Amino acid sequence: MLISYLVPVVLILLLIAASIRILPEYKRGVVFFLGRFQAVKGPGLIIIIPLVQKMQVVDLRVITMDVPEQDVISRDNVTVRVNAVLYFRVVDAEKAIIQVEHFVTATSQLAQTTLRSVLGKHDLDEMLSERDKLNDDIQEIIDSSAESWGIKVANVEIKHVDLDESMIRAIARQAEAERERRAKVIHAEGELQASKKLVEAANVMSENSAALQLRYLQTMSDMSNKNASTIVFPLPMDIMEAFKTMSRGVPGKPTPPPARSTQDDSDTEQN
């Protein structure tokens, strides 16, 4: 007699256990009644009729997915290996269950194909220097394609762009050449600015002889501070001109005869 009462009680308890579902705040349940979509329920307590209703649970939190490494041929025919990380979440549980089979796998495949397609349209330099722009392009394409699945792509980040050793050496040589070019340009600009300042200083000194004399004395003072066996004294051209003028006026120095013209020579020969 006890068994006859115990069996129905156990069946009722099993039926109740199979009928009750409790979903947390970040999950939703897509309920089907005899195979047809009925409603999206949750969170909280949900009662399901066994064998008549069926519920599939969908997580609404952001899913972090690693996109496997992809072999990409850039527009300038350079082969690189690129991997990325994808952040997405389900915004419509009904579409995520009904419109696509295994939405996580579908999103992963879509991310891989989009990554190869977008990066193949750009040069290697753009892959290395314009990652933010490439991330935005990839995100926009995946988001527009996955929108019909009820999925929102939050972000896409390219993690690594791996090159072979020959390309790494070539990029290093290119970077070194670029640094040398910039150094030469900066040096040339400095020489140009210095030459302009020297011209301005020369113009100022030419207008004031006292400034030239002060500069001369400063140069002499700087030379005297150095321990050198040979000292070269700079002599201004103005002093040389003064010496020439004085030498012309020294008494007793013969005056050079005036130069005779060719006309006087011809008159002498005719006479």
The answer to whether residues 187 and 206 belong to one domain is: yes
Whether residue 112 is contained in a domain is answered as: yes
Whether residue 258 is contained in a domain is answered as: no
The answer to whether residues 91 and 124 belong to one domain is: yes
Q: How confident is the model at residue 36 (pLDDT cuts 50, 70, 90)?
A: very high
CA 129/CA 92 separation, integer angstroms = 36
79 in helix, strand or coil?
Answer: strand
The answer to whether residues 78 and 104 belong to one domain is: yes
The answer to whether residues 72 and 30 belong to one domain is: no
The answer to whether residues 144 and 198 belong to one domain is: no
The answer to whether residues 159 and 67 belong to one domain is: yes
Whether residue 125 is contained in a domain is answered as: yes
Whether residue 74 is contained in a domain is answered as: yes
Measured from the Cβ of residue 198, the count of other Cβ atoms closer than 10 Å reads: 10
Which pLDDT belongs to residue 268?
45
Strongest mean pLDDT among 3-7, 144-148, 253-257: 144-148
The answer to whether residues 47 and 115 belong to one domain is: no
Which pLDDT belongs to residue 254?
52
Alpha carbon 206 to its chain centroid, in Å, reads 51
- pLDDT surpassing 80 at residue 172: no
Q: Are 70 and 112 in contact (CB under 8 A)?
A: yes
Mean pLDDT of the chain: 81
The answer to whether residues 70 and 159 belong to one domain is: yes
**Domain with 194 in it:** 177-218
- pLDDT surpassing 70 at residue 147: yes
Longest dimension (CA), the chain: 177
CA 233/CA 222 separation, integer angstroms = 11
CA 30/CA 46 separation, integer angstroms = 11
- In this predicted model, what pLDDT tens digit does every residue of 205-261 receive, in sequence order? 677 666 666 766 677 666 666 666 666 666 656 666 656 666 665 555 555 555 454
The answer to whether residues 143 and 195 belong to one domain is: no
Contacts of 162 (CB under 8 A, 6+ apart): 69, 80, 81, 82
Span 31-53, average pLDDT: 90
Residue ranges in the chain assigned as alpha helix (H): 2-19, 93-98, 103-119, 124-129, 131-146, 165-207, 209-224, 237-248, 262-270
Whether residue 55 is contained in a domain is answered as: yes
Span 144-156, average pLDDT: 93
Q: Are 33 and 17 in contact (CB under 8 A)?
A: no
Helix (H) or strand (E) holding 45: strand 44-47
The answer to whether residues 82 and 116 belong to one domain is: yes
The answer to whether residues 53 and 68 belong to one domain is: no
Q: Which of 36, 59, 82 is the last residue of a domain?
A: 59
- pLDDT surpassing 90 at residue 266: no
Report which residue type is found at 252.
G
- In this predicted model, what pLDDT tens digit does every residue of 95-113 receive, in sequence order? 999 999 899 999 999 999 9
Whether residue 255 is contained in a domain is answered as: no
Which pLDDT belongs to residue 263?
47
The answer to whether residues 43 and 66 belong to one domain is: no
Contacts of 95 (CB under 8 A, 6+ apart): 148, 149, 150
DSSP for residue 43 = S
- In this predicted model, what pLDDT tens digit does every residue of 44-90 receive, in sequence order? 999 888 888 999 999 999 999 999 998 888 888 888 899 999 999 99
DSSP letter string, 82-145:
EEEEEEEEES-HHHHHHTSSSHHHHHHHHHHHHHHHHHTTS-HHHHHH-HHHHHHHHHHHHHHH
Structure-model confidence comparison of residues 192 and 241, the more confident one:
192
